[in-house]
Amino acid sequence: MSNPLVTLQQLGQSPWHDNIRRDLITSGKLAQMINDGDITGLTSNPTIFEQAIANSDAYDDDLRILAAAGKSVEASFDALAIADIKSAARLFMPVFERTNGNDGYVSIEVAPTLAHDTQGTIEEARRLWRTVDRPNLMVKIPATLAGLPAIEVAIAEGININVTLIFSLDRYEAVVAAYLSGLQRRTQAGGNIRSIASVASFFISRVDSAVDRLLDEKIAAAVDDTAALRALKGRAGIANAKLAYETFRRIFGGAIFAKLAEQGARRQRPLWASTSSKNPNYADTYYVEALIGPDTVNTMPPATIVAYRDHGKPEVRIDRQVDVAREVIAGIGAAGIDFGAVLVRLETEGVASFAKSYESLLAVVARRTASRSNPRGAGPCAELTKSGT
């Protein structure tokens, strides 16, 4: 029986793993997933690291070493995260080399507290790029208004960027513009753009969760037939992504990018994030099946990867029924829901949620550090500690 995750790749979509844990690396499980062809990249965020450190003793030895070296809580987490990202990047290097740099990327996020700080984001992106020092690294920068100029500067400096927390089409176009401007600045300065890679991460199921909640309120208050309202449930996120993909094809099939492509520029691929089914009424592969298409990435949590490998039905669908997608968005507006306002709120909530996870993460690191003592030996962070990182 063929592996549906491998078939996704044959159709032009890269399945990435939205998770990282120390034991996933040390047990050989991540290497096995890569070797089996299940995944071709990996993404991380503060929530993922919080869960990894809170629910495992795999980091305890390093925490003891870092504490003994006098590292702050922030510096200790930084060392743990960078050690894991470096290890994961090494495992994905064969994919990176086999695909000539088109795939095999590992993402690490700038601190969420910098989401509205352009210069702080630029400096942090530079530091992470320099410290991890792997060609298959992507630094994640949120698509906030402050993040846009940081994205442009980072691309101009040759840093691979994963633009995260994109919800609206308007903001997506601004993200693409920042990417293209960064490439243009680099070429004007005589720099090489062949090695620069970027993805634009569109969040999907969070959109449905927000819109479905508002539709349920409309349904509960309705006195007339609610069939039209019910028919819109679970469709906003996919419709939004289909329109984003249409925008991607238009821009990267246009004259501006054509000139950059002549100099070796790569397309900034759309990445579908938040693709687990948060509503139990939706199939566990619902968002994966709907968004398959060439030049895309889908980053999936572990359970979704397992489900798709088991019963996925790969077929290009992202470019189907785009007119219907427009009708869905129009129908949401006709129902009295301000879709644009929903997307703005989701960005605000997303930034706040990641910042809260980062605070919780630091609290977890502090708690686990305080409860451990007497180091038993050097772990993956030993080299970082010696270098003063």
Superfamily of domain 4-204+241-317+348-387: Aldolase class I (3.20.20.70)
Mean pLDDT in residue range 231-239: 98
Residue 38 has pLDDT above 90, yes or no: yes
- Is residue 379 scored above 70 in pLDDT? no
Residue 40 has pLDDT above 60, yes or no: yes
Q: Which pLDDT score, from 0 to 100, does residue 62 have?
A: 94
How is residue 46 written in tokens? 């503060």
**For the segment 267-318, what is each residue's pLDDT rounded down to a tens digit?**
999 999 999 999 999 999 999 999 999 999 999 999 999 999 999 999 999 9
Sign of CA dihedral 226, 231, 234, 239: negative
Distance between CA atoms of residues 90 and 83, nearest Å: 11
Q: What percent of the chain stands above pLDDT 70?
A: 95
Distance CA 95, CA 102 (A): 9
Pairing type for strands 13-17 and 106-109 reads: unpaired
Calculate ∠ Cα 14-19-20, nearest 5°: 120
- For residue 178, pLDDT over 90 is answered with yes
| Cα distance between residue 265 and residue 196, in whole Å | 7
The whole-number pLDDT of residue 371 equals 73
CA distance 204 to 239: 9
CB 95 within 8 A of CB 104: yes
DSSP result, 85-149: HHHHHHHHHHHHHHTTTSS--EEEEPPGGGTT-HHHHHHHHHHHHHHH--TTEEEEEE-STTHHH
d(CA 276, CA 48): 14
- The identity of residue 103, as a single letter, is D
Confidence of residue 13 (pLDDT cuts 50, 70, 90): very high
pLDDT grade, residue 370 (50/70/90)? Answer: confident
Residue 119 scores a pLDDT above 90: yes
Q: In this structure, which amino acid lies at residue 361?
A: L
pLDDT at 381: 55
How far, in Å, CA of 126 to CA of 143, rounded?
Answer: 17
- pLDDT band for 372, please (50, 70, 90 cuts): low
Q: Is the pLDDT of residue 115 over 50?
A: yes
Q: Average per-residue pLDDT in the chain?
A: 94
140 assigned to active site: yes
Judge whether residue 382 has pLDDT over 80.
no
* Exposure string for 212-225, b = 16+ CB within 10 A, e = fewer: bebbeeebeeeeee
User: Long-range contact list for 365-369, CB < 8 A, 24+ apart?
Assistant: 365/53, 365/63, 365/73, 365/76, 365/77, 365/80, 366/73, 368/53, 368/54, 368/59, 368/60, 368/63, 369/63, 369/64, 369/66, 369/67, 369/73, 369/76
pLDDT at 22 over 90: yes
Which position among 71, 86, 140, 242 bears the catalytic label? Answer: 140
Residue 377: which pLDDT band, with cuts at 50, 70 and 90?
Answer: very low
